[in-house]
């Protein structure tokens, strides 16, 4: 029995939200979210998309901009996180969250929610990095972009939140298909 077998028991009408954040650094206590991208989907396909740049209130260092292409100029006139999070929370609702290296993204969202004295996320969540390790053991690397290449998932804008969320969604669906196939074959 695998860690993700619970996914086989969810109803067919379940709604998922693959999401990703881009941040000013790696520490949620000191750094801030600068972009959130999310794709809401179910068994029928994509339901809706969410993508927003956020003014972090602190400078984005050049090495961060070099990775994700988000500059201080791009976020200067964007809303602050406290203006964005209510919309994001409404968007995800009670859906099952999907993220690659989920603890990172969730820790940033939860830290921002804590700063607003708001309750933290309590949605069920699937970390596609761990899920891929379970259903596709032996891959040379488990970074999102490496897995995308291995499974023929085309990344259009790597390290931008909405496209990373889309790649994450496709990776989840690929892993879920493999999990379903293995369980039906072994039943």
Number of H helices, E strands in the chain: 7, 5
Mean pLDDT of all residues in 135-144: 96
Spatial separation of the C-alpha atoms in residues 21 and 10, rounded to whole Å? 26
Domain parsing of the chain, residue ranges:
13-186
Give pLDDT, residue 139.
Answer: 96
The pLDDT of residue 159 is 84
Give CATH superfamily name and number for 13-186: Ribonuclease H-like superfamily/Ribonuclease H (3.30.420.10)
Token pair 């970074």 in the structure block, residue? 143
For the cut 90, the answer to whether the pLDDT of residue 46 exceeds it is: yes
Which H or E run contains 46? strand 45-53
Q: Is 98 exposed, middle or buried (0-12, 13-18, 19+ CB in 10 A)?
A: buried
Nearest to 160 by CA among 27, 20, 3, 55: 20
Counting Cα atoms < 13 Å in the Cβ hemisphere of 53 gives 14
Summarised one tens digit per residue, pLDDT across range 10-31 is 988 899 999 999 999 999 999 9
- Report in angstroms the alpha-carbon separations of 106 from 82, 138, 144: 16, 27, 16
Round the average pLDDT of the chain to a whole number and report it: 95
Known active-site residue 159 = yes
Choosing from 4, 82, 100, 159, which is the catalytic residue?
Answer: 159
Q: What is the pTM of this model?
A: 0.93
Average pLDDT over residues 142-160: 93
CA dist 167 → 62, 63, 130, 140, 156 (Å): 25, 23, 15, 18, 9
Q: pLDDT tens, 54-98?
A: 999 999 999 999 999 999 999 999 999 999 999 999 999 999 999
pLDDT band at 187 (very low <50, low <70, confident <90, very high): very low
């Amino acid at each position: 029995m695998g860690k993700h077998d619970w996914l086989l028991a969810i109803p067919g009408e379940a709604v998922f939200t693959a999401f990703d954040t881009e941040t000013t650094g790696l520490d949620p206590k000191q750094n801030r979210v600068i972009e959130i991208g999310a794709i809401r989907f179910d068994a029928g396909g994509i339901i809706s998309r969410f993508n927003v740049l956020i003014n972090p209130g602190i400078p984005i260092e050049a090495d961060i901009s070099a990775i994700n292409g988000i500059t201080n100029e791009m976020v200067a006139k964007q809303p602050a996180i406290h203006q964005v999070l209510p919309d994001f929370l409404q968007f995800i609702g009670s859906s099952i969250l999907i993220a690659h290296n989920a603890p990172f993204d969730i820790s940033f969202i939860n830290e921002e929610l804590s700063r607003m004295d708001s309750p933290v996320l309590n949605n069920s969540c699937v970390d596609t990095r761990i899920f891929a390790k379970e259903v596709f053991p032996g891959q040379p690397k488990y970074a999102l972009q490496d897995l995308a290449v291995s499974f023929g998932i085309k990344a259009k804008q790597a390290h931008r939140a909405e496209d990373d969320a889309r790649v994450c969604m496709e990776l989840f669906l690929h892993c879920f298909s493999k999990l379903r196939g293995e369980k039906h074959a072994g039943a």
